[in-house]
Structure 1
């Protein structure tokens, strides 16, 4: 029996589409389970920091899980850039100005990653009322494994 992936009531086949009378919506056939099971979570097997280049409206269309994983990567990129920036600043403070341009570029890059993290944090805050202050590898594994009670 074809059931709604949200409320689990039997779906009505209307022409070539499934319709849920309780949810009052058409359900795409790929989302229709054959039994009373939940729609499986689909994870991108690889997350790249390049996803951070998505615009804010594009990020707003992504799933909450996607954003949590992306936020972890964005924060890591920002941390890495910050380490480089501190190193350049130490060299400049020592009197060598050979790396001044590299330090300025690192500063701009650090600001970009910081702002991108803020965007993702604010989207998450709008959705779930807060954003994770710390995202661990353990927490992301629990999300991937489908555990209900995970701590981030």
Structure 2
């Protein structure tokens, strides 16, 4: 029996469209399950900073766990970018104080690049935070390794029991 992944109700299949009467919506093929089973979450536990180069649309396709792990990495990277920016600004000020115009010009070119890196990482952080806020209604202020471990365990232990009432296969429609 083909069923809805959201409520477990039997769906009506017409050509390439499945319709759930209880949810009052059409379902994509990936949203149709068998025998009231729940859809399994597929999470890749390994996330690296290279994911920062993905477009916003691509980031939106990542799981919540993956985004949380990426946000943790991006925040660390942003902190390092900020520290680099402060160090370069300090060097520039030191060169200005010594009236070393050649050094000031060289440092300012470096500073421009460092500021661009910081701005890029900051904007990506905002994108990830906003995607998470849409999904979770909040964004953790601090993401630790133990927070990610607990979150991952919750995702993996999500109920996999079929969505059925007792031993009967009764369907409740509204």
Interval of TM-score (by shorter of Structure 1 and Structure 2): 0.7 to 0.9
Which structure is richer in relative contact order (CA contacts within 8 A, separation 6 or more)?
Answer: 2
**SS state at 1:131 partner:** coil
Identify unmatched segments of 5+ residues in structure 1.
none
TM-score by length of 2: 0.65
Contact 1:64 1:124 in 2 (8 A): no
TM-score by length of 1: 0.72
**SS state at 1:19 partner:** strand
- 1:62 paired with 2:48, answer no
Q: 1:82 to 1:131 in 2, by over 3 A?
A: same
| Aligned residue number for residue 110 of structure 2 | 102
Q: Root-mean-square deviation (CA), in Å?
A: 2.9
Contact 2:74 2:121 in 1 (8 A): yes
Identify unmatched segments of 5+ residues in structure 2.
96-102, 159-174
Instruction: Kindly state the Cα deviation for residue 59 of structure 1 after the two structures are TM-superposed.
Output: 5.8
Please list the CA deviations of residues 108-131 of structure 1 after superposition, one character each: whole Å capped at 9, or x if unmatched.
211221122223323433443322
| Aligned residue number for residue 71 of structure 1 | 71
Instruction: Kindly state the Cα deviation for residue 22 of structure 1 after the two structures are TM-superposed.
Output: 1.1
| Aligned residue number for residue 39 of structure 2 | 39
Alignment: residue pair count: 147
